[in-house]
Amino acid sequence: MQIDIKGDVVDSETGQMYKWFGMQNTNPQAIQEQLEQAGGKDIQLNISSPGGDVTAAAEIYTMLQQYSGKVTGTIQGIAASAASVISEACDHLVISPTATMMIHRASMWGEGNTNDFGHNAETLSKIDQTICNAYQAKTGKSRDEILDLMDKETWMTAQDAVDQGFADEILTINDKAPQMANSIGSMPVKDKVDEFMKFLVDQKAENKDKSTISSSNNEEYFDSALFKSKLKILKGENDERNSSN
């Protein structure tokens, strides 16, 4: 089962408001419902979030840590702030070569006197310690080292994240992998699409001085040898292997 960690990380009540407006979000109630549906089976988290509410992230982190099935995560775009905390709950965390992670200290907005801000500073310091717990459990780094990285608002490439222990491996993108389909219709196979695209590049180079075919002579175009040759590529009719079978 796949579960998305996308959009802002918010508390469950705010999540309802986001949902009403059709805004993507990640909240504890929604995650809890999906985990219950998964019923202990292995799950895949698709992660791309700028973060958000620290308490909501802590709640989701705990849910994932207590989940009985294996939790595999893939950082597809970004796992920043609170979302990076959630990602550390994965038993195995993969990061796309084009993705990033970011960790930093917690922050809050408020007003008041010196006592109020002094209390806020103390509270934030304790929250930083709880965030540090998640990073330390995943990376094995010392608390001082992690807090230093949080101090600097550390941005990590995929390689940085793996080298630092925040992720387990970089996603391998294999364009040679067999193409899988689940459709009642027909679709061109991947190697034919690749051949077709190469054909278009070659044709563009060959005919770079010719004008683009206008909509007024579409019939002539569809009857042309060029269109027919493209169609043969998609159908595989010009494939020597197919013609010999």
92 is catalytic: no
Taken as a whole, the chain contains a residue count of 245
| Distance from C-alpha of 40 to C-alpha of 42, rounded to nearest angstrom | 7
User: Pick the catalytic residue: 48, 84, 96, 104?
Assistant: 104
Residue 52: its H or E element: strand 43-52
User: Pick the catalytic residue: 48, 81, 87, 96?
Assistant: 81
81 is catalytic: yes
Secondary structure, 3-state, 100-169: EEEECCCCCCCCCCHHHHHHHHHHHHHHHHHHHHHHHHHHCCCHHHHHHHHHCCEEECHHHHHHHCCCCE
**Exposure pattern of 163-178 as b/e (b: 16+ CB <10 Å)?**
ebebbbebbeeeeeee
The bridge status of strand 169-170 relative to strand 71-80 is: unpaired
Which residues are identified as catalytic?
81, 104
